[in-house]
Amino acid sequence: MKEEFLRLSGVTKEFTGVKALKGVDLTVYPGEIHCLAGENGCGKSTLIKIISGVKQPTSGQIFIEGKEVKNITPIDAIHAGIQVIYQDFAVFPNLTVAENIAMNKNLLENRKYMNWKEARQLAVKGLAMIGAEIDPDVLVERLSIAKKQMVAICRAIVNNAKLLILDEPTTALTRWEVELLNKTLRSLKESGVAVVIVNHKLEEIFEIADRLTILRNGENVASGLIQEFDRTRFVECMTGRTLVDERYVPETGSDSVVCEVKGLRRKGSFEDVSFTLKAGDCLGITGLLGSGRSEIGETLFGITPATDGEVIVRNKKLKIRSIADAVAHKIAYVPEDRLTQGLFLTRSICDNTVAASVADYMEKGRLNLKKMVDVTYAWIKKIGCVASSAEAPIKTLSGGNAQKMVIAKWLNTHPDLLILNGPTVGVDIGAKSDIHAILHRLAAEGVGIIIITDDLNELYYNCNKFIVMRNGKSSGVLDMSAYTMQDISMMITKQGI
């Protein structure tokens, strides 16, 4: 057995009487990829902050390379070779790639001025180490999310990182970008760097991990080699319950047409998209990034109006030229990026819940606040959201609970058609299962459901019919029961449909 790089023993952390961590143990070895998994709110982020010196444990011991360390600070952690890459990457968008990569080295050496020649040489060396083809002179703000992440990784490894911690690194990446990241992490592993990935996506964890530690409610529930886990054990450890993947099949066939789309086209984005949604249907739309899948949802919701085509909801032909038109016609849209497009983060859960239907609460020129709060509590209960109160800021909710309230906001408009773009992005397994169950229930109640996703598991198990988009062209509506997940994957990636 290799000598451990990091060991945590019996680590606890309390916040005003609330125990975020309850005697957590964690061991990380050089040259391994160790996944730290758990549902939102289980203590993963708190544990990372303790390892990196941002927070101090209430009790417990921390050992780095066999030596106990106490009162570790962020600078101490960096000097010890510990680097953390958070979800926002903490890059400077107005600086070049080279300047970003050299920034930490300058700070550690207390330099007052940037040596641009040296910074560029350092960047070229770091980028070559992970095989990243990025211009060191380009501004970081011009890079894709995946390339910004590569810059953050380069910045870490050029500072002699021995332990690299990545917090939810794949949340905003495409499948191809995830594979590129995994290739980079395997290269770092082979060079002896210890890698800890915070993740809750089962498929991605089994692809990359050597070892796995699972937290639930601030406690270790399982730890071991990845071979010791299968899907059932992983899910049970994560959630404390047994979740079984079953393909969605509408309870009974229905002839009641909720929505009909004929020859929908948006110039430069997609063309000739047609489908019919009946009561009970969950229609999936999938394809690679830029295939036109997301643009269909945006067009149906009036964000960017269609060039041609017809949209008929409840036997009424609609003219959708704006979002206001779509909402007026009882069409709702849950965007992929809930943080910037779906929520008002500084406002309360109540304010967010009624944001799309606030006119319903106006009485004699004033808002009926009690009615708003009562409705919010009703939705919190109905949709299974875990929240302290309706008045709490929505930013205090976990990712899964926040996404449930985005859905509740639109359900409060009583839509006939609900379009969801990436409905479970950044959501843990338990909350994902809850959200899918909500969508199936709505479909059974007669709401038209469209799920736009690049998650094949989500598509395969939760839609009874689907469309594959490629280069703006539609495959037509396909019956899910006639295809395997591998069939769909091949349809997405092959040269023609």
Mean of pLDDT values over 406-422: 94
Percentage, residues of the chain above pLDDT 90? 60
φ, ψ of residue 97 to 5 degrees: the values are: -60, -45
Residue 71 DSSP one-character state: S
Q: Which two tokens stand for residue 49?
A: 């902050």
Q: Is the pLDDT of residue 330 over 80?
A: yes
Mean of pLDDT values over 249-264: 87
343-388 pLDDT tens trace: 898 899 999 999 999 999 999 889 999 999 999 999 999 888 888 8
Give the residue from 245, 225, 249, 227 showing the smallest Cα distance to 235.
245
- Phi-psi sector, 330: left (phi>0), alpha (psi -120 to 50), beta: left
Q: Is the pLDDT of residue 312 over 90?
A: yes
Number of C-beta neighbours around residue 104 at 10 A: 16
86-118 pLDDT tens trace: 877 788 889 999 999 988 777 777 788 888 888
Residue 172 DSSP one-character state: T
47-94 pLDDT tens trace: 999 999 999 999 999 999 999 999 999 989 988 999 998 877 788 889
Query: 99 vs 90, 159, 280, 399, 469, CA distance in Å?
Result: 13, 14, 54, 33, 39
pLDDT of residue 397: 85
- pLDDT, averaged across the chain: 89
- Residue 396's Cβ-count burial label (10 Å; 0-12, 13-18, 19+) is middle
Q: Is the pLDDT of residue 172 over 90?
A: no
Residue 253 DSSP one-character state: -
124-146 pLDDT tens trace: 988 888 888 899 999 999 988 88
Q: Are 321 and 341 in contact (CB under 8 A)?
A: no
Query: Of all helices (H) and strands (E), which one includes residue 496?
Result: none
| Dist. CA 399–CA 404, nearest whole Å | 9
Q: Is the pLDDT of residue 444 over 80?
A: yes
| Dist. CA 14–CA 84, nearest whole Å | 22
pLDDT of residue 325: 95
pLDDT of residue 497: 46
| Dist. CA 303–CA 313, nearest whole Å | 18
Q: Are 49 and 68 in contact (CB under 8 A)?
A: no
Percentage, residues of the chain above pLDDT 70? 98
Q: List, in sequence order, every residue forming a beta bridge with 96; answer none if it has no partner.
A: 139
pLDDT of residue 495: 44
Mean of pLDDT values over 290-314: 94
Q: Are 230 and 243 in contact (CB under 8 A)?
A: no
- Residue 19's Cβ-count burial label (10 Å; 0-12, 13-18, 19+) is middle
φ, ψ of residue 431 to 5 degrees: the values are: -65, -35
